[in-house]
């Protein structure tokens, strides 16, 4: 036990995803006392294994006696997770996620666990389609908590990139894109794998190839799968490409631009010209999206994903403790 932390510990914030878990020891005044994590997420845990894994990560923060609230968002609340916290339907106010929280059974009497729900969306006349999120809603709640009454378009890039429309702190609708997964599949397992290397977004030639590809995808999204094969053909035929790793980096940047551009060609149709898109995520990925948006004359601002999820878990903690 770490006495310095245990003395001041008010609650624990946990973001527990498909492939990892991140936890923060929180003081009453919102200060982060410590943070820790592991690479065991929903995909590698059976329901009976969650408690032990959590104790392995946060056990030395806990006092010897007394109950500590642990607020958890993400895939731990999925049907295949620790215990299902059923989806709440959109539209929904983001300050009300706590009403869908569930409590899994635990052995250690010090743990008071709340698993927050994800969100689901059903088709309707306004163009909504079937969609789900689990984890990102808490980041969106964090944004709304930090900027009360927030309205605007929010993008959470990643394996399954999410775009959400917020109006006065309400989540109106959202759309998920297979962008990151498409990139990985194509770069690792397709005929393009032979042509691609490590993308280096800091290199001017890679940036140019990325931006050109974004513009190409937006100009003709229907040509997407032809443009994919075009990467292979360009590798075979284009005498102006450099050799070796520079060539492979340039073509990887083009693939990245095509998949992100396809995503943007869908969302940008509905965004007014003067919109500022809020990006929530890791710095390097958000920088790439910012570059793509800039190429389409769209402005963006960034909120760190960790800061967002902590703010959202804090909001849920306040509601559950009130």
Asked if 126 interacts with its own copies (CB under 8 A), we say: no
Query: Tell me, what DSSP letter sits at residue 261?
Result: H
Of residues 3, 44, 66, 122, which one binds its own copies by CB under 8 A? 122
Of residues 3, 32, 220, 276, which one binds its own copies by CB under 8 A? 220
Between 132 and 205, name the residue whose CB sits nearer to its own copies: 132
Asked if 90 interacts with its own copies (CB under 8 A), we say: no
Nearest CA to 139 among 178, 174, 183? Answer: 174
Give the SS3 label for residue 172.
Answer: strand
Between 11 and 87, name the residue whose CB sits nearer to its own copies: 87
Distance separating alpha carbons of residues 75 and 297, to the nearest angstrom:
35
Asked if 225 interacts with its own copies (CB under 8 A), we say: yes
- For 172, residues 6+ apart whose C-beta sits below 8 A from its C-beta are 90, 91, 165, 166
Of residues 22, 141, 263, 293, which one binds its own copies by CB under 8 A? 263
Asked if 222 interacts with its own copies (CB under 8 A), we say: yes
Binding span for its own copies by CB under 8 A among 95-103, 140-148, 169-177, 291-299: 169-177
Between 101 and 182, name the residue whose CB sits nearer to its own copies: 182
Nearest CA to 11 among 305, 310, 306? Answer: 310
Nearest CA to 61 among 132, 110, 18, 131? Answer: 110
Nearest CA to 142 among 178, 112, 169, 167? Answer: 169
Token pair 């914030």 in the structure block, residue:
13
- For 29, residues 6+ apart whose C-beta sits below 8 A from its C-beta are none
Binding span for its own copies by CB under 8 A among 2-10, 21-29, 51-59, 183-191: 183-191
Q: Output the six-digit token pair for 76.
A: 């731990």
Asked if 223 interacts with its own copies (CB under 8 A), we say: yes
Distance separating alpha carbons of residues 26 and 51, to the nearest angstrom:
19
Binding span for its own copies by CB under 8 A among 25-33, 149-157, 181-189, 197-205: 181-189
Cβ at position 250, least distance to its own copies in Å: 14
CB 35 within 8 A of CB 13: no
String of contacts with its own copies for each residue 5-44, x by CB under 8 A? ----------------------------------------
Asked if 237 interacts with its own copies (CB under 8 A), we say: yes
Nearest CA to 174 among 256, 84, 53, 90? Answer: 90
Asked if 287 interacts with its own copies (CB under 8 A), we say: no
- For 317, residues 6+ apart whose C-beta sits below 8 A from its C-beta are 11, 13, 26, 69, 71
Binding span for its own copies by CB under 8 A among 138-146, 217-225, 285-293, 307-315: 217-225
Of residues 114, 138, 139, 179, which one binds its own copies by CB under 8 A? 179
Nearest CA to 113 among 173, 181, 62? Answer: 62
Asked if 240 interacts with its own copies (CB under 8 A), we say: no
Question: If binding means CB under 8 A, how many residues of this protein chain bind its own copies?
Answer: 43
Peptide bond between residue 91 and the one before it cis (omega within 30 degrees of 0):
yes
Between 27 and 241, name the residue whose CB sits nearer to its own copies: 241
Cβ at position 147, least distance to its own copies in Å: 26
Q: Which residues are near its own copies by CB under 8 A?
A: 120-122, 129-132, 160, 175-179, 181-182, 185-186, 189-191, 220-230, 232-234, 236-238, 259, 262-263, 265-266, 269
């Amino acid at each position: 036990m770490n006495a310095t932390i245990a003395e001041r510990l008010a609650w624990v914030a946990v973001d527990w995803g498909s492939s990892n878990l991140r936890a923060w020891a929180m003081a009453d005044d919102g200060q982060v006392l410590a943070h820790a994590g592991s690479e065991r997420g929903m995909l590698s845990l059976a329901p009976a294994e969650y408690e032990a894994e959590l104790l392995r990560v946060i056990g030395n923060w806990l006092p010897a006696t007394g109950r500590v609230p642990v607020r958890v968002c993400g895939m731990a609340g999925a049907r295949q997770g620790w215990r299902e916290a059923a989806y709440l339907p959109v539209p929904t106010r983001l300050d009300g996620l706590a009403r869908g929280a569930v409590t899994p059974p635990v052995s250690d009497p010090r743990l008071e666990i709340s698993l927050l729900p994800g969100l689901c969306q059903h088709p309707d006349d306004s163009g909504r389609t079937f969609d789900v999120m689990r984890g990102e809603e808490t980041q969106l709640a964090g944004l709304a908590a930090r900027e009360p009454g927030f309205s605007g378009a929010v993008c959470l890039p990643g394996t399954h990139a999410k775009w959400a429309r917020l109006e006065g702190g309400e989540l109106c609708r959202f759309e998920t894109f297979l962008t990151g997964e498409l990139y990985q599949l194509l770069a690792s397992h397709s005929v393009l794998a032979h042509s691609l290397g490590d993308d280096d977004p800091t290199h001017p030639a890679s940036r140019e190839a990325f931006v050109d590809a974004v513009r190409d995808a937006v100009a003709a999204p229907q040509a997407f799968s032809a443009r994919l094969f075009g990467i292979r053909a360009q590798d075979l035929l284009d005498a102006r490409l450099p050799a070796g790793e520079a060539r492979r980096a340039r073509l990887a940047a083009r693939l990245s631009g095509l998949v992100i551009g396809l995503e943007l060609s869908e969302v940008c149709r509905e965004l007014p010209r003067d919109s500022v898109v809020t990006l929530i995520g890791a710095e390097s990925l958000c920088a790439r999206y910012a570059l793509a948006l800039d190429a389409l004359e769209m402005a963006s601002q960034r909120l760190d994903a960790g800061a967002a999820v902590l703010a959202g878990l804090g909001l849920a903690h306040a509601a559950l403790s009130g």
